[in-house]
Structure 1
Amino acid sequence: MLLVDCSNCRRALELPPGAHSIRCAICHAVTRIADSRSLQPPPPQGFYSSTHQHQPYYPPPPPPFTAPSPYNHAPRGPPPAVHGRKRAVICGISYRNSRHELKGCINDAKCMKYLLVNKFNFPESAILMLNEEEADPYRHPIKSNIRMALYWLVQGCQPGDSLVFHYSGHGSQKRNYTGDEIDGYDETLCPLDFQTQGMIIDDEINETIVRPLPRGVKLHAIIDACHSGTVLDLPFLCRMDRTGRYVWEDHRPRSGVWKGTSGGEVISFSGCDDNQTSADTDALSRITSTGAMTYSFIQAIERGQATTYGAMLNAMRSTIRNTDDDLGGGGGIVTSLLTMLLTGGSGGGLRQEPQLTANEPFDVYAKPFSI
């Protein structure tokens, strides 16, 4: 891949081999290769040019940064224009026509957008939606587009901004060899092209949207995926102790690597613990299926149960425990958009517990929930 600066917003883009132009997923400007600052990625160590068999290849020196970046993968160039005091990235992946197919994820994304616009007054123009149904290929939830969307979410944010990242899709784990994970595994999100391009690990997510967050900015993440308990790598995890009260566990890495913010606030709701899986249903059509965690999150808000973060977590867990689990695939929730936003389900239960993590511990019983 070649790195190319967008001719309009100067965001770094990945130009596929042989292509002579590329359109930016954010500002939609078309950049010709003549407008670019292109670099061939350095080849593996020991690589020799096929035309100069005995002469090692030395890559050109990298260009100077135009501004210091708090995280390694930030696109070069000036930050993009602020898109409002409220911004959101919503990603729903169905993995359609594959053995990994999920039925509820695109509906999760649509329902979350509906909630943010109609309940929390997010401007539609400030919501970046990624799913397979989008006509714009740069809005498809492939790895490079998700990375670009996460960069967009936090860049240019200012005190008073409220940011949301919602993801509904597959999650997984990879062996961690640095000793930073208590269970020995990094948590991951699975883009649409994860089988060829790889997964997005929690270290990168933390580095991209957590560590650069400045003071006065609040980010909420709602992650409806398997193994997602600590997928933002936040330092503190809320657990229920033997007395039935929530307490904070310290998950700061023993290596001392900083996993907090630059003064901002990050709170994440996830579908299940790191060693659990999240429910999806294939009992009915894609029009009516949703993910259990997204359903319980929206229902808690619509029912007025989201007064504090502790009340929110209790309501979500209660909804999932009481949800009918006789649907296809061993569990799930099936409802229309209107029913999902205004009413609830009843019945058996699902084997997953929504989790709450944060960059700093706080009193979950006293802190009001707000986006």
Structure 2
Amino acid sequence: MDGIIIQCTHCRLEHFITKRTNYLYCLRCHSLIPTQTKFLKNTSQKHTQLQNIKNSSLTNCTFENSSLYGISGSSEYKSYPRGISVVRPKTTFAFLNACPRGISAARPGKRALICGVSYKNQKYKLKGTLTDVYNIKQLLTNRYHFPEQAIRVLTEENDPDRVPTKANMEEGLRWLVDGCKSGDSLVFYFSGHGFRQHDLNNDELDGFDETLCPVDFKTEGMIIDNDINTMIVKPLIKGVRLHAIIDACYSGTILDLEYLYSLKERKWLDNRPPSGARKCTGGGRAICFSACRDDEQATDSNVFTHKGMSGVMTHCFIQTILNKPKLTYFELLNSVRETILKTSPSKCISSKIIDKLLKRKISQEPQLSSSEVFDIENTTFLL
């Protein structure tokens, strides 16, 4: 059986695979690695390399099912990344936490999770999310120099382990912050449906929890803001920056951050929960750009390209950055807001029928929230 030896471009761990694939998943630093084309035919060389892999420090980890992570009884490395499925998220999380200290030290300083949910073959299908995903990834790689292998993309066009199911999204959120260290820049992007539901914990000022809708939310449920805060806000240590960009309805405080900026009053508003529960980080800073307020709906439009659809907020966000290389958080938020308000709803898909009938502008105001107060008028935006 032919095989190839692939070396991770970040941590230099060698992987042996027997199947041709476009990429494999690094067991040590969790990066996506492009594969090569030359296969080895020397059987003894293959088994020697495989034995070296098995003898690495990763074998000290506790696996509930080792075949899921590439070390199988047949002595072959399987390139199926992580073995993720909707019924095994806890196994994957246990693996991340079981790795010996120091393994995640090789993780790249920039890491991003990009989720675009189209809800194909469903009555609430969205047409602009794939365009949003492509444009955001281009922005991260070309403008902010995020390594390709440090960006995880979840869409319905991918293999099953990269479809934006609830399990895959939650696993991706944990992957995003796993092993973060001072100086890291993390990005979480979501384009899809958002929703809200009654708050049962008295930790929302408006009485509602905000949610994101994965592709299987009808059967597996939504991802609520409390859980998102727990997964990617609380683990942030000092010196780590997280930016979330959420193009979804009812997403104003989707990360449950403690401060919300008011453009009208030009000051930070206290968004801490009535219950007194802490929603802060472990010392890092979390910032969220949302498409609209918690009581508003976001829209898709083809008014910008006159071809395919795209999220209004996502398009305006990217174009503002491209048009002005150096801008403050205030300039970015204000510019996105002004561009959205100038957009005619006649070519937009919006469930607010009354706005269309009365020919109103898009009822959508982008929001900025943060885990801490900072001077947005003099702080340069940077991912």
Place the TM-score, normalised by the shorter chain, in its bin.
0.7 to 0.9
Q: Which runs of 5+ in 2 are unaligned?
A: 1-26, 29-53, 71-77, 353-358
Deviation at 1:368, TM superposition (A): 1.1
Report the equivalent of 1:213. Answer: 236
1:358 to 1:295, Cα distance in 2 relative to 1, 3 A = same
CA separation in 1, counterparts of 2:133 and 2:331? 24
Q: Is the 8 A contact 1:143 1:193 kept in 2?
A: yes
| More displaced stretch, 107-116 vs 77-86 | 77-86
1:12 to 1:298, Cα distance in 2 relative to 1, 3 A = farther
Q: How many residues align?
A: 307
> Letter of the aligned partner of 1:169 in structure 2?
G
CA separation in 1, counterparts of 2:239 and 2:308? 38
Report the equivalent of 2:173. Answer: 150
Report the equivalent of 1:253. Answer: 273
Deviations 1:54-107 (A, max 9, x none): xxxxxxxxxxxxxxxxxx999541376343111000000000110110010111
Q: Is the 8 A contact 2:205 2:274 kept in 1?
A: no
Report the equivalent of 2:337. Answer: 317
Q: Is the 8 A contact 1:89 1:153 kept in 2?
A: yes
CA separation in 2, counterparts of 1:207 and 1:12? 25
Report the equivalent of 2:50. Answer: none
Q: How high is the sequence identity, in percent, across the aligned residues?
A: 42
1:161 to 1:235, Cα distance in 2 relative to 1, 3 A = same
CA separation in 2, counterparts of 1:125 and 1:322? 37
SS across alignment from 1:96: coil
1:369 to 1:268, Cα distance in 2 relative to 1, 3 A = same
Of residues 336, 340, 365, the one that matches 1:353 is 365
CA separation in 2, counterparts of 1:111 and 1:271? 16
Deviation at 1:254, TM superposition (A): 2.3
1:269 aligns with 2:289: yes
Deviation at 1:274, TM superposition (A): 0.1
Report the equivalent of 1:292. Answer: 312
> Letter of the aligned partner of 1:107 in structure 2?
T
Structure ranking higher in helix proportion = 2
CA separation in 1, counterparts of 2:203 and 2:95? 23
> Letter of the aligned partner of 2:279 in structure 1?
K
CA separation in 2, counterparts of 1:22 and 1:314? 47
Report the equivalent of 2:255. Answer: 232
Deviations 1:295-338 (A, max 9, x none): 11101101107611110001100110112321152499xxxxxx
Deviations 1:208-242 (A, max 9, x none): 0000100001000000000000000000000133x
> Letter of the aligned partner of 1:313 in structure 2?
L
CA separation in 1, counterparts of 2:268 and 2:372? 9
**1:46-65 matched pairs, under 5 angstroms:** none
Report the equivalent of 2:14. Answer: none
Deviation at 1:192, TM superposition (A): 0.3
RMSD: 3.4
SS across alignment from 2:171: helix
**1:87-126 matched pairs, under 5 angstroms:** 87-126=111-150
1:306 to 1:222, Cα distance in 2 relative to 1, 3 A = farther
1:183 to 1:305, Cα distance in 2 relative to 1, 3 A = farther
Q: Is the 8 A contact 1:323 1:348 kept in 2?
A: no
> Letter of the aligned partner of 2:98 in structure 1?
G
1:198 aligns with 2:221: yes
SS across alignment from 1:326: helix
CA separation in 2, counterparts of 1:173 and 1:217? 29
1:285 to 1:295, Cα distance in 2 relative to 1, 3 A = closer
Deviation at 1:22, TM superposition (A): 4.2
> Letter of the aligned partner of 2:142 in structure 1?
N
Report the TM-score, using the length of structure 1 for normalisation.
0.75
1:364 aligns with 2:381: no
Q: Is the 8 A contact 2:302 2:310 kept in 1?
A: no
Deviations 1:140-180 (A, max 9, x none): 00000001100000011111110000000000011111111
> Letter of the aligned partner of 2:346 in structure 1?
D
> Letter of the aligned partner of 2:126 in structure 1?
L
| More displaced stretch, 90-99 vs 316-325 | 316-325
Q: Which runs of 5+ in 1 are unaligned?
A: 40-71, 333-346
Q: Is the 8 A contact 1:234 1:259 kept in 2?
A: yes
SS across alignment from 2:261: strand
CA separation in 1, counterparts of 2:168 and 2:122? 20
Report the equivalent of 2:17. Answer: none
Deviation at 1:257, TM superposition (A): 1.2
1:176 to 1:186, Cα distance in 2 relative to 1, 3 A = same
1:188 aligns with 2:208: no
Q: Is the 8 A contact 1:108 1:168 kept in 2?
A: yes
CA separation in 2, counterparts of 1:73 and 1:258? 26
CA separation in 2, counterparts of 1:315 and 1:189? 25
